[in-house]
Amino acid sequence: MNRADAKTVYLKRPFHERPDLAATSVNYGIAEMTGGAEVTLRRDIKET
């Protein structure tokens, strides 16, 4: 990943269902998570 393309997004209630806490690894789609959640912060990271 190029740092110039990095973004920070904080989500409030990103899950529709309770996550499986017994799972070893789970992949979530960013579009799916942000689509149903309240975005509390969205920031582009700029190189200095």
**Residues 2-39: pLDDT tens digits?**
666 788 889 888 887 887 889 998 888 888 888 888 88
- Strand spans (E) along 1-48: 7-12, 38-44
H-state helical runs in 1-48: 30-35
Domain span at 31: 3-44
End-to-end CA distance of the chain: 17
Structural domains in the chain (count) = 1
> Residue 35: its pLDDT value, please?
84
Question: CB of 42 within 8 A of CB of 9?
Answer: yes
**pTM (2 d.p.):** 0.53
Nearest to 4 by CA among 45, 48, 38: 45
